[in-house]
Homo-oligomer: A and B are copies of this chain.
């Protein structure tokens, strides 16, 4: 799935250059030509915002504040201003990075990738790795000790949730919320059965028992 980046930049030429750069590098670019327009366009579908500071109408500080108050999408400020005080101010308002013009395209792309990567904490969102299990999010495959494991949809979602939280216990209600999209009724056994099936399938490929039961709470992956 391509990431969507919102470009807020009044200079149509620069806006265009940025759009082409992003598109050529596998992103989906959305353009806004003023701060107010940017705030209108901006919603949950946007994964990152490139904000040029020299905008008519509103100043950068106001826009950052408004963007950040809506949600926590990462914002990279692009600006010709080298003044440290302005930089510090923008960072404190929630900017996630600050790139001064002129910049190298490669560096901007690297900084964009770093911000997007940091959203999930993992360097590569598509593939999760835990011990000798790998889970590939883009083609819904799981391998254990190099061999492919056939999982059903819920089993896959369950393993994915556990692997996304390797150091945390997933509570039963959290699992029902995310994997099943509803609150569990107290005597529901569905999760237990799925855990049982998942363990059984993984055991075919490895002697190790990966999933640990936290009594009365939920499940977690062993250290």
A residues lining the B interface (CB < 8 Å): 68, 72, 74, 84-85, 87-88, 91-92, 94-97, 104, 106-107, 109-111, 113-114, 117-123, 138-141, 148, 152-153, 165, 167-169, 214-217, 220, 223
Pairwise interchain contact A123-B167, C-beta atoms closer than 8 A: yes
Among B107, B121, B122, B141, point to the contact of A87 (Cβ < 8 A).
B107
Q: A123-B94, A123-B167 are in contact. Are A214 and B118 (CB under 8 A)?
A: no
Pairwise interchain contact A168-B139, C-beta atoms closer than 8 A: yes
Among B88, B110, B113, B140, point to the contact of A106 (Cβ < 8 A).
B88
Write out the residue numbers on chain B whose beta carbons fall within 8 Å of the beta carbon of A215: 152-153
What is the CB-to-nearest-CB distance from A83 to chain B, in angstroms, rounded to a whole number?
10
What is the CB-to-nearest-CB distance from A117 to chain B, in angstroms, rounded to a whole number?
8
Pairwise interchain contact B123-A168, C-beta atoms closer than 8 A: yes
Q: Quick one: closest B residue to A119, CB to CB?
A: B121
Alpha-carbon gap, A169 to B223, bound state (A): 31
Among B104, B119, B138, B216, point to the contact of A168 (Cβ < 8 A).
B138
Write out the residue numbers on chain B whose beta carbons fall within 8 Å of the beta carbon of A169: 138-141
In the complex, given contacts A139-B167, A152-B215, what are 8 additional A-B residue pairs having Cβ atoms less than 8 angstroms apart?
Answer: A72-B121, A87-B110, A94-B123, A95-B114, A97-B97, A118-B118, A141-B169, A153-B216
Write out the residue numbers on chain B whose beta carbons fall within 8 Å of the beta carbon of A114: 91, 95-97
Alpha-carbon gap, A111 to B104, bound state (A): 20
Q: A88-B107, A123-B165, A214-B140 are in contact. Are A96 and B68 (CB under 8 A)?
A: no
